Every structure is written in structure tokens, then in C-alpha cells.
Amino acid sequence: MSFPTEWTSVGSVWQLPEQGCRPAPTNLRQCVSADAAALPFASTSFDAVFIGYGLRNFPRLSTALEEVYRVLKPGGVLVSLDFFLPERSWLQRLYLAYLYGQGAFWGVVLHGRSRVYTYIPDSLRSFMSAKSFSRLLDKMGFAEVTARTFLLGGISVHWAWRRDRSRTT
Ligand SMILES: C[S@@+](CC[C@H](N)C(=O)[O-])C[C@H]1O[C@@H](n2cnc3c(N)ncnc32)[C@H](O)[C@@H]1O
């Protein structure tokens, strides 16, 4: 897969100035404050959409995925990196405790505040497994959904393609 030559960065209003535009890749075309569930872009305008640790924070995940599908060109790809819940419930509890402990430790060491990173297990608690997310992408119409998991399923990179043929939406 070759990388796009021009980027558009999208983030929510309150965080975009800090996270969306800095550090900016030299070929960043624009920074846009927008809700992932209502992207202000024409259909079929992007070759690829990259989401880093974002989708588990989207309150309307299915709508956001519909939006990603809509703005992708046919044959375009969604690549997402995020935290997920491991499949087994005892492992979920262990993993959340691990993230909480690590987050509190590094929050104190790096920022003097234990709560800086503990939002991660908080936001993950009610999320889903990497397998469930693959199934959701499938259901939303994406093709060739592929996942590579790390940390016993606690982190995953997903790839999913918009079908070449246009959908009716
Ligand atoms: C944990 S940060 C990750 C930031 C960046 N991608 C990174 O990896 O450093 C989560 C990001 O999701 C964005 N976000 C959360 N909800 C959103 C929404 N509904 N629409 C657009 N962006 C959203 C926030 O602006 C925030 O920048």
C-alpha cells in the first residue's frame, strides 16, 4: 500500500488545535474540526482514512463508520489502531487493571497527575473486542476486513476496504 501524498486531519472541536495539527506532516492540506459522525466532505473524496485511538471514543460509532465508508473512494481503505477488550472476561478484568495501573504510574511520572491516562481503561470498559469490531466493519459493508492484534487482543490494527462497486447510500 502506498501512502497518500496529501492529508486532511479531522478532530473534535476542543482538541483539534492541540492534537490535530501539531506536529503537522509537511503535506498536511487542512485541519478540520468536525464530528466523525457528520464529516463535512463530499462522498468518495479520500483514498484512505486513518484513525488512531479515536473510534472507541466516538459516541455514534456506527454512524461514524458509515461516514468513513461514504467519504472513501471505491477501493479506498480504512486503517484504525485502537484499544480493545480481550475476548475472555477474566482477561478483560486483568487488562483493564493493567491499563489502569500503568496509566496511573506514567501519569504521575510524566505529568504529576495520575488521571492523565486512566481515561483509557475508562473509555474501554464499555467497548468491544477486536473480533466484534471486525464483525461490525463487515456488517457496515466493508470488504476484506483484516485485524492484527497485540497484547492478547488488547490492541489491534484493522484494515477494511470500501468495495469497488458503489453502494446505494
Ligand atoms: C486519544 S485521542 C487520539 C489522538 C490522535 N489520533 C493520536 O493518536 O494521538 C482521541 C481523539 O479522538 C477525537 N475524537 C473523539 N470523539 C470524536 C468525534 N466524535 N469526532 C471527531 N473526533 C473525535 C478527539 O479529538 C481526540 O483527538
Distance separating alpha carbons of residues 91 and 12, to the nearest angstrom:
32
pTM recorded for the entire structure: 0.86
Extents of the domains making up the chain: 34-84+128-169, 86-126
Q: Which of 56, 55, 52, 54 is nearest to 124 (CA)?
A: 56
Interval 1-47: pLDDT, tens: 555 667 788 876 545 555 556 655 567 777 888 889 999 999 999 99
CATH class of 34-84+128-169: alpha beta
Side-chain half-sphere exposure of 29, counting CA atoms within 13 A: 7
**What separation in Å is there between the alpha carbon of 9 and the centre of ligand 1?**
10
**DSSP secondary structure string, the chain?**
-PPPSSEEEEE-TTTIIIIISSSPPTTEEEEEE--TTS--S-TT-EEEEEEES-GGG-TTHHHHHHHHHHHEEEEEEEEEEEE---SSHHHHHHHHHHHHHHHHHHHHHHHS-TTTTTHHHHHHTTS--HHHHHHHHHHTT-EEEEEEEEGGGTEEEEEEE--SS----
Ligand 1 pocket, mutate which of 35, 57, 60, 120 (most atoms under 8 A from CB): 57
Identify residue 15 by its one-letter amino acid code: Q
Identify which of 8, 19, 62, 83 to mutate to test ligand 1's pocket (most ligand atoms within 8 A of the CB): 19
Q: Ligand 1 centroid vs 15 CA: distance in angstroms? A: 7
Q: Which of 91, 58, 78 is nearest to 4 (CA)?
A: 78
What residues line ligand 1, using a CB cutoff of 6 Å?
A: 10-12, 15, 19, 35-36, 52-54, 57-58
pLDDT in tens, 42-100: 999 999 999 999 999 999 999 999 999 999 999 999 999 999 999 999 999 999 999 99
